[in-house]
Amino acid sequence: MTPTLTCWEGGFPHPATAASLTPVRPAAGYRADIGRPSVSDQIDTFGGKASKDMTENQIIVGQAASTSGSALRRGAAAGYRWLLLLFLVAGVVQIFLAGLGVFHLHSYGLDDPAGDSALDPHRTLGFAMGGIAVLILVLALFARPGARQVVLAAVLVLQTVLLQSLLAGLGDDSAVWGGLHALDGLLALGVAGYLYGVALVRRRATARDLR
């Protein structure tokens, strides 16, 4: 039989037993009072860091999108104001061309075929103003000046694109419709003037806030 390794020989333990009883010295920097994190804790740590990085990236992307959206709105608002001013100037020219055409028509004579071309500049500018009104509405949707302003911009499109042509066509049969055609044109200028005034007030208020 093989003797046991735990027997004492001469008061000293067997070498193999002594080796097994030798205490293991901890590595440098090791502290027994600080527990090592578990695998789940490490996963949570890395997951939290990843979540934090994703959150920061989302904030950066959101800020970039907000800046881009603000720049788009500012550009649309500036174009909206300039187009309204252009519409008002064109409206003044339109009134002049209407008077010019009427007196040319009178000088040509109502039965003269050349008299029909007397109002061609007035018609051409009227169609151009309808296109400007459509652009004003599109820019108002991007600039978002307010619900009332967007609705009035849509009304401006109806006045210049639909009502002006309809009333002018009916004016060939009755002068009353022709008078309503002129009145609708003046109302369209009033709407455009109101929108332009509100846009200027809003712009000046924004400039004061930025100072």
- pLDDT tens, residue order, the chain (211 aa): 445 444 444 455 555 555 555 555 555 555 555 555 555 555 555 555 555 555 655 555 455 445 566 888 889 999 999 999 999 999 999 999 998 988 877 766 655 566 667 788 999 999 999 999 999 999 999 999 999 999 999 999 999 999 999 998 898 888 899 899 999 999 999 999 999 999 999 888 877 777 6
**33-82 residue pLDDT tens:** 555 555 555 555 555 555 555 565 555 545 544 556 688 888 999 999 99
Among 99, 97, 84, residue whose Cα is nearest residue 189: 84
Q: What's the predicted TM-score (pTM) here?
A: 0.66
Pairwise CA distance, residues 173 & 75, whole Å:
45
Pairwise CA distance, residues 31 & 39, whole Å:
19
Looking at the DSSP assignment, which residues form a beta bridge with residue 61? none
Residue-by-residue DSSP string for 138-193 = HHHHHH---HHHHHHHHHHHIIIIIIHHHHHHHTTT-HHHHHHHHHHHHHHHHHHH
Q: Do the beta carbons of residue 132 and residue 171 sit within 8 Å?
A: no
Return the SS3 of 116: helix
Collect contacts of 139-146 with beta carbons under 8 A, ≥24 apart. 139/76, 139/77, 139/79, 139/80, 139/83, 140/80, 142/72, 142/73, 142/76, 143/73, 143/76, 143/77, 143/79, 143/80, 144/73, 145/77, 145/80, 145/195, 145/198, 145/199, 145/202, 146/198
**C-beta neighbour count of 152 within 10 angstroms:** 20
